[in-house]
């Protein structure tokens, strides 16, 4: 990250885990310039200014999330270069200092580790897990509990064929060209990815829904794991599986050789039960748009015995165990 440390100064690199509710943010990445939108990274770097590093602190984020998406535990690395004679911050002091100076209550730094100077949070990640929550039995978005509106995609349908969705998800597993599932402008040189896990399962009854409402509302969880994903790949896989659950597609149609054709076919159809096929994909394309009821992805990390623990929703960013250094 930039040139070497100035003479007499000490530069230390840290791996930091942090979580956030994404409702108020334009995504995790910093928004530069005079735009009104703001990212989680903006707040993290603003807090890091209080560390009085010789060189401004920049967070290198492991996993991207878009507007409205929450993270149970994302990760980043950063360098802090202290003045001559000042020892590096201990990971505990760094964590406490960042939390003290964070100006948004929806962001929290979980834990920090000293790592080697060549450690890279994005390229060292060994797995990432995205979780989407669906709700059925909600004809209108305003009928959903206010506590759940930013935590799930409310479908107007009363029923999903979950067995068919589970069967279809198995066709996505393995190594395939997922170019049909990436958005335009993706920076990835290759569209080949290996999907290790794709699951569809019932979610426990929400504690944030009144008993008389819980009889008609049901919640479902879609979870995807890979070392890396294409831009918007997960939300589009979610849209395809929802289309299967609604009867628009059959499980056997969800195969790697026909993914692009399926995507175009779903987009071109006028309606599907109470959810139009076009709206399914439009909603899946904008999971963070407030008031649209799109799917909210969440992340939760998997870093061996250094993994912060917590409940869903979350993204999992798995790392090889970082080698930790004691402050000098």
**Residues 301/113, Cβ–Cβ less than 8 Å:** no
> How is residue 33 written in tokens?
């310039």
User: Matching CATH topology for 10-124 and 127-295?
Assistant: yes
Per-residue pLDDT of the chain in tens (328 residues, 90 and over written 9)? 445 555 567 889 999 999 999 999 988 888 887 667 799 999 999 999 999 999 999 999 999 888 889 999 999 999 999 988 889 999 999 999 999 999 999 999 999 999 999 999 999 998 999 999 998 988 877 888 888 888 888 888 888 999 999 999 999 999 988 887 877 666 677 888 899 999 999 988 788 888 877 778 889 999 999 998 888 888 889 999 999 999 988 898 887 666 555 564 555 444 333 344 444 444 444 433 333 333 344 444 444 333 333 333 445 455 544 444 433 3
Check the CA dihedral 228-234-236-242 and report its sign.
positive
CATH number of 10-124: 3.30.70.580
Q: Give the C-alpha distances (Å, rounded to integers) separating 20 from 26, 112, 201.
A: 12, 16, 24
Domain ranges of the chain: 10-124, 127-295
pTM reported for the whole predicted model? 0.76
Separation between Cα atoms, residue 303 and residue 111, nearest integer Å? 12
CATH classification code of 127-295: 3.30.70.660
Active-site residue list: 66
Radius of gyration of the chain (CA): 21
């Amino acid at each position: 990250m930039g040139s070497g440390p100035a003479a007499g100064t000490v530069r230390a690199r840290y791996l930091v885990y942090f979580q956030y509710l994404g409702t108020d943010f334009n995504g995790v990445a910093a928004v530069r310039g005079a735009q009104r939108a703001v990212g989680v990274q903006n707040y993290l770097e603003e807090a890091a200014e209080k560390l009085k590093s010789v060189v401004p602190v920049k967070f290198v984020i492991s996993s991207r999330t878009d507007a409205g998406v929450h993270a149970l535990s994302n990760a980043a690395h950063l360098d802090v270069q202290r003045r001559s004679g000042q020892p590096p911050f201990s990971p505990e002091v760094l964590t406490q200092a960042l939390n003290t100076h964070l100006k948004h209550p929806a962001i929290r730094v979980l834990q920090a580790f000293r790592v080697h100077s060549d450690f890279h949070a994005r390229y060292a990640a060994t797995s990432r897990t995205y979780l989407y929550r669906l709700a059925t039995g909600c004809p209108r978005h305003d009928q959903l509990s206010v506590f759940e509106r930013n935590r799930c995609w409310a479908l107007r349908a009363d029923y999903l064929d979950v067995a068919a969705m589970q069967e279809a998800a198995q066709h996505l597993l393995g190594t395939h060209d997922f170019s049909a599932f990436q958005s335009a402008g993706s920076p990835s040189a290759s569209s080949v990815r290996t999907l290790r896990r794709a699951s569809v399962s019932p979610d426990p009854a929400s504690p944030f829904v009144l008993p008389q409402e819980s009889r008609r509302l049901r919640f479902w969880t879609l979870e995807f794991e890979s070392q890396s994903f294409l831009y918007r790949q997960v939300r589009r896989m979610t849209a395809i599986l929802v289309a299967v659950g609604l009867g628009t597609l059959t499980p056997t149609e969800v195969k790697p050789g026909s993914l692009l054709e399926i995507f175009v076919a779903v987009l071109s159809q006028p309606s599907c039960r109470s959810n139009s096929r076009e709206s399914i994909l439009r909603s899946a394309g904008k999971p963070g748009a407030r008031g649209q009821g799109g799917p909210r992805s969440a992340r939760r990390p998997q870093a061996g015995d250094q993994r912060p623990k917590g409940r869903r929703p979350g993204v999992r960013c798995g790392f090889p165990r970082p080698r930790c250094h004691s402050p000098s």
